[in-house]
Amino acid sequence: MKVRCVKLIDDVGHVLDQSPWLQIGKVYHVLAINVSEGDGTRFVIQSGSKPDEFPSLSHQMSSCFEVISTSIPSNWRPWVDGAGNIGISPAAWQVPKFADDLADCAPWVLETYFRERDLIVEEDP
């Protein structure tokens, strides 16, 4: 799944002129989708990092984007948590402590992250 940024909006709904995370007109692969009552629908994208750097992930409001490809990655699986939040993401990322270990640059998590991200990109170039 791919999206193109069409506007910049902060977490409280204000339209922005610039963002450290997004660039208007740029196409992003959606790595996961999260839906919650408080935050609405958020696309998880990799932004602000170069290929050889630690991945910088951001959860952006879906209203910032237009969908340009609806291809669903083969590694995505749905999930629901105890608070009623729902989403879809690579199954390998749904293990306990994955997000914490990714933030800590744990080698096993980085390998898993890049493998799953690369599959998403390869399936919808």
Any residues with CB less than 8 A from the CB of 33 and at least 6 apart, and which? 41, 42, 43, 44, 62, 87, 88, 89
For the entire predicted model, the pTM comes to: 0.90
pLDDT of residue 45: 96
Give yes or no for a contact between 35 and 59, defined as CB atoms under 8 angstroms apart. Answer: no
State CA 84 to chain mean position distance: 19
Percentage of the chain with pLDDT > 70? 94
Paired strand residues for 24: none
The predicted-structure confidence for 56-112, as pLDDT tens digits, reads as follows 889 999 999 999 999 999 999 999 999 999 999 999 999 989 988 888 888 888 899
Are residues 80 and 72 in contact, defined by beta-carbon separation less than 8 angstroms?
A: no
For residues 10 and 27, the answer to whether their CB atoms sit within 8 Å is no
The sign one gets for the Cα dihedral 96, 11, 125, 102 is: negative
Report the pLDDT value the prediction gives residue 56, as an integer from 0 to 100. Answer: 81
